[in-house]
Amino acid sequence: MRRKPILLLAIIAIALIVTPQFQASPGGIGSTSDDSGCFCHTEDSGTEVSISGLPDTFNASAIYNLTITISNSDIAGATENANMGGFRLLIEGGTLDFDQTLVQVVEGGLTHTELGNDYRSWEVSWTAPADDTKVAEFILWGNAVNGDANGATGNSGDGYNGATFQVAGLNAGAIEETVDAQRAMVVLMSTVLLVLTLMGLAAMYVFYSQNPEGFNMGNFWEWLKGWLTTTDHKGVGLLYLNFGLLFFLVGGLLALLFRIQLATPMNDFLTEKEYNSFFTLHGTTMVFLAAMPLISGFANYIVPLQIGAQDLAFPRVNALAFWMLPGAAILLFAGIFSGQTGDITWVMYPPYSTSSGGGDMSANPGTTLFVAGIVMLGASSTLSGVNFITTILTMRAHGVTWMKMPLFSWSIFVSMFMLFLSLPALIIGVLMMFLDRTIGSVFFATNVGDPILYQHLFWFFGHPEVYVVVLPAFGVISEVLATSARRSIFGYKSMVYAMAGLGVVAFIVWGHHMLTSGMDPQLRFIMMGATMLVAIPTGIKVFNWLATLWGGALVFKTHTLWALGFILTFTLGGISGMFFPVAGLDMYFHDTYFVVAHFHYVFVGGVVFGLYAAFYYWYPKWTGRKMNEKLGMLHFLISFISYNAAFWPMHNLGIMGMPRRTHSYTIESGYGELNSSITIWVFIFGLSQLIMVWNLIYSRKHGEVAGPDPWGGWSLEWSTTSPPPTPSFAEIPIQKDANTEAHRDGTFMRGVKKLWMIGEKKEAKE
C-alpha cells in the first residue's frame, strides 16, 4: 500500500533530475560529427588553427578577407602536390565567398576540396551580417596531415585541433560566455541541495525551539515525516501558506532587482535577457506560486472548519496537489541557473514563446522547462478545484445550507468553480505550445498556425484567473469587516448573487485583453460591452461593505485596517479598469504602464491586502495566539503608504506613454524622475513585508493567548478550539440559525415576487 506513492515520488524526482539536461545546452555548436575533413584523424594539441583578417568588431554587411591557417611544427607535410592538411569551418552570422576549386560546402559547413588539401592555408571572404547588434561566431577545425596516406587509409601521424572565434558587431553588447550544459547542471543541483539543506535546518530549529530538552534526531525525523506525509487539511493548508509566503518573497526580490534596473535612464544593471527573464518570473511567481498557494492555504485550513467538515473530500489528492507545486517551481526556475530561463512574459504569447534556434532573437532554451512547469501548475490547480467543489457540494454540516454558508466559503466555491472551468483552456494552449517547442508541431507556428488562437485560449483562462484570486479576497473582507463592525454582513444574499454573477461575467470578457491584437472588430465590440458589466456586481459588493459599516461598532484591529485599506485601493483599481474597454483609450493605454498600475492596484491592493487581513484574522485559529498588534499596525502603515506612493505614479508613466516590459528608456523621454521615486518606494514596501514575517515568527511563541473565538466571529471555525483538533470536529457540528422566521426569501426572490405581485394587483383591480 505504501509503496505506490513512494514509487510515484521517485519517478517524479528522477524526471526532475533528468530533464534539465535536455535543456541546459546553449545549442550553439552545429553538427561536426559527419565531417570528412578532420575527424578521421587523432586530436593533437600541437596543431594550431587560426583565422587572420578578422576585425575586432564588424560593420554591418562589410566584406572581410580571411585567411585560415593551420600549423604544426611536428608534422611536416609532403612537399609537392600531396596532402598537407584540411579544415572545417562553421559560421554563425554572415555569408562566405570562396574559390570553389579549393574550398567547398559540405553539410552546412565549409571544408577543403580534394584539390584543396594540398595546402595549410586557405583564403575566403566573409560578408558580415546585416544586423550589427549580433555576435558572429567561427568554429574552425584544422588537421595537419603528413601526407603518407596517398589518398587511402593511412591516418597515423596526423593531428587535428579546433578553436572558436567570436566577432561582435559594432552595436553588439559585450560577448557573453555561454555557460556550458554541465556547469548549469552543477549550479542547479547545488542550489536545490542548498535550499533543501537550509529548509531542513530551519525546520529543525522550529522543532528544537518547541521542546529543547526532548530534542533528538529520531524525534525530529518523526515530526518532519509527519509534515511531509500529512494529508490533514490543516497540515496541507499550513504547507501551502508557507510555500506561498516563501515565493511571495522570492517574487518580490525579483521585482526589487528589476526596479534597480529601471531606477535610472539607460541603466545597465541587468542585461536585456536578465531583465526579460526576471519580469517573466516575477509575474508567473506572484500569480501561480504566491497568490494561488496562499489562497489554497486559507481555503484548505478554513473552508472545512467553516462548513463543519472533518477534512476535505479527497485528502490524499489534496496532498498530491500541494506536492506538485515544488516540482513546478523547480521547473519554472531551473533555467535561471544557466542564465537561460524563460523570457516569454507571464502571458507566454507565441510565436516568440515557441521560437528556438534563432540565438538571441528566440526565446531562451529554459522556456521549455518553464512551459512544462505551467502545465504542472495547471494539473495541481485542477486537483484542488475538484477537491474543493466536491467538499463544498457534499460535506456541509447540518444547518450550513447554501444560503447560510459563510461568505469566505462561498467565495472559494465560486472561485474554484471558475478555476475548474477555465483551466482546460490554459492547459490545452500550453500543451500545444510545449509540443510546438519540443516535437515541432505547428499549432502556433508562424507560417501555418494561428498565434492569436493561443491568446484566446490563454485569456479565456487568464481573465477568470484574475477573479479566481480576487474573489477569495472578497470573501475574507466580508468576514473581517462584519466581525470588526460586530454585526452581520449587510445584504448577505445579494453578496452571494454578486459573486456568482462575477463568476459568470468573467467568462465573456477575455477579449478586452486583446482589443489591439488583430482580433475581429465585431468581437471587440461585444467584449467591450461585456467588460463594462463587471462594474455592476463589483459595485454591489463595495456598497454592501459600506452599508455593513454603517451603524456598526467598528473595532480597529490590524485585520480591520487591511480590510479598510482594501476597499480604498481596490476601488481605485476597479475604477482604472473601466478605462480599458474603451476603444479609444485602450488603444493608447494597452501595454503601457497604465496597465501595470491597474493590475498592481487590483492584485496587490486587492488580493494581497485581502490575504494580509486573512493572515492577521485567522492566525489565532492555527496557532492559538494572536499576532502582535503593534507590529501589525506598523506593517500596515508603512506598507500602505509606500504601496500607494510606489504604484500610483505608474498611472502617470502610462499616460506619458511609457510601454511596459521595457528594459530601459532614454533620458529625453522624461520617465526618469518618476521611475527613481517608484524604485525607492518599492524598496520600502518590499522591506516592510519583513515586519510581517518577523511578526509571524515572533507571535508563535510570544503572542497573546487567544481563545476559540478571539474576534467575536460567528462562523463554525470559531466554535472549535484554537488550534483545532485532528480530525477537526470530534462530532459533526450543527449550525444554528438566529433568524426566527421559518424561511426568508433572498433579495432576488423577493424582487421577483414583487414583480409578480404587480400583475396580481392589476388583476385584483379588474
Partner 1 sequence: MFMSDSLPPAGGRVMVSGEIPWETQYNQFMFWSIVVGLIVFVWLLYAVLRFRRGMVDESNLEKLEPGTFPKERDNLRLEAVWVVIPSILVAWLCLLSWTSMYDAWGNPPSDEEAFVVEVTATQWNWAYTYTEPLVIEEATDGLSYPIHVSVSEGTILVSTSTVDVNLTAIWTNGPANGQFNISSGLATLNTVVDMHEMFSLTITDEEGLQVYSYVRYAAQTSSSGEVYVPCDRTIKMTMNSERLDEADAVIHSMFLPEWGMKEDIVPNLETMLYFHPEEIGTYDVICAEYCGMRHAYMTGKITVVANPNSDLESCGGGA
Residues 584-643 close enough to bind partner 1 by CB under 8 A: 584-585, 587-588, 590-592
Q: Is 544 in the site for partner 1 (CB under 8 A)?
A: yes
Q: Is 19 in the site for partner 1 (CB under 8 A)?
A: no
Least separation in angstroms between residue 668's CB and partner 1 is 5
- The Cα 354–Cα 488 span in angstroms is 52
Beta bridge partners of 653: none
The catalytic residue among 35, 311, 343, 436 is 311
Which of the residues 322 through 351 are near partner 1 (CB under 8 A)? Answer: 343, 345, 349, 351
Determine which residue in the list 30, 154, 440, 670 makes contact with partner 1, applying CB under 8 A: 670
The full DSSP string for 379-419 is HHHHHHHHHHHHHHHH-PPBT--GGGS-HHHHHHHHHHHHH
Binding part of the chain for partner 1, among 55-63, 251-259, 369-377, 543-551 by CB under 8 A, reads 543-551
Site string for partner 1, 38-77 (x = CB under 8 A): ----------------------------------------
Q: Which of 384, 415, 422, 478 is catalytic?
A: 478
CA atoms within 13 A on the CB side of 257: 18
Reported as type and span, the H/E element at residue 303 is helix 292-307
Looking at residues 111 to 130 of the shown chain, list those that interact with partner 1 (rule: CB under 8 A): 129
Question: Does 362 participate in catalysis according to the annotation?
Answer: no
Give the one residue of 513, 524, 598, 635 binding partner 1; rule: CB under 8 A: 524
Residue 158 in contact with partner 1, rule: CB under 8 A? no
Strand-pairing partners, residue 112, are 103
Q: Which of 50, 71, 652, 677 binds partner 1 (CB under 8 A)?
A: 652
Looking up cell 591557417 gives 69
Say which amino acid occupies 101: T
In contact, 644 and 655? CB cutoff 8 Å: no
Handedness of CA 494, 497, 503, 509 (dihedral sign): negative
CB of residue 253 vs partner 1: minimum separation in angstroms?
A: 22
Q: How far, rounded to the nearest angstrom, does the alpha carbon of residue 694 sit from its chain's CA centroid? A: 26
Question: Which one of residues 198, 583, 637, 705 is an interface residue with partner 1 (CB under 8 A)?
Answer: 583
The mark string for 349-368 relative to partner 1 (x by CB under 8 A, - otherwise) is x-xx-xx-xxxxxxx-----
687 grid coordinates: 522591506
63 membership: H or E segment, kind and range: strand 63-71
Q: Positive or negative CA dihedral for 751, 756, 761, 762?
A: positive
Considering only residues 272 to 301 of the shown chain, the ones binding partner 1 according to CB under 8 A are 272-273, 276
The residue from 551, 755, 763, 766 that contacts partner 1 (CB under 8 A) is: 551
Active site residue 512: yes
Amino acid (one-letter) located at 522: Q
Can you tell me which of 485, 509, 596, 627 binds partner 1, judged by CB under 8 A?
485
30 binds partner 1 (CB under 8 A): no
| Residue with smaller CB distance to partner 1, 347 or 375 | 347
Answer for which of 100, 133, 210, 721 binds partner 1 (CB under 8 A) is: 133
311 assigned to active site: yes
Nearer to partner 1, 158 or 717 (CB): 717
CB 84 within 8 A of CB 78: yes
Given 116, 235, 283, 491, the residue binding partner 1 (CB under 8 A): 491
Alpha helix positions (H), 156-232: 181-210, 217-229
Q: Clarify whether 761 is annotated catalytic.
A: no
Nearer to partner 1, 5 or 708 (CB): 708
Q: How many CB atoms lie within 10 A of CB 210?
A: 12
**Least CB distance from residue 521 to partner 1, whole Å?**
4
- Among 35, 40, 27, smallest CA distance to 109 is for 35
Q: Decide: helix, strand or coil at residue 571.
A: helix
The reply to whether 463 belongs to the active site is: yes
Active site includes 343? no
In the numeric block, which cell numbers belong to residue 325? 507545486
The C-alpha atoms of residue 531 and residue 525 are separated, in whole angstroms, by: 10
Residues 503-522 that bind partner 1 (CB under 8 A): 516-518, 521
Among 390, 441, 571, 677, binds partner 1 (CB under 8 A): 571
Which of 404, 487, 493, 660 is flagged as catalytic? Answer: 660
Q: Within 398-427, which residues bind partner 1 (CB under 8 A)?
A: 399, 404
Choose, from 47, 354, 422, 538, the residue flagged as catalytic. Answer: 538
Whether 171 and 128 have beta carbons less than 8 Å apart is answered as no
Q: Which is nearer to partner 1, 701 or 744 (CB)?
A: 744
Q: Which of residues 72-91 bind partner 1 (CB under 8 A)?
A: none
Torsions phi, psi for 123 (to 5 deg): -115, 135
Q: How far is the CB of 262 from partner 1 (least distance, A)?
A: 10
- Using an 8 Å Cβ cutoff, are 472 and 300 in contact? no
Q: Cα dist. 404→270, 545, 618, 736 in Å? A: 53, 18, 21, 10
Q: Does the annotation mark 125 as catalytic?
A: no
709 binds partner 1 (CB under 8 A): yes
Interaxial angle between packed helices 292-307 and 233-262, expressed in degrees from 0 to 180 and rounded to the nearest 10 = 150
Task: Determine the Cα–Cα distance for residues 671 and 519; give it in Å rounded to an integer.
Answer: 31
- What's the min distance (Å) between Cβ of 355 and partner 1? 4
Q: Quick one: cell of 387?
A: 477537491
The one catalytic residue in 134, 463, 626, 663 is 463
Number of residues that bind partner 1 (CB under 8 A): 120
Q: Which is nearer to partner 1, 208 or 556 (CB)?
A: 556
CB atoms within 10 A of CB 61: 13
DSSP for 616-675, please give it: HHHHHHHHSBPPPHHHHHHHHHHHHHHHHHHHHHHHHHHHHTPBSS-S---TTTT-HHHH
Q: Which is nearer to partner 1, 493 or 700 (CB)?
A: 493
- Which residue in 50, 493, 700, 706 binds partner 1 (CB under 8 A)? 493
Active site residues: 282, 311, 346, 380-381, 463, 465, 467, 478, 512-513, 538, 541, 660
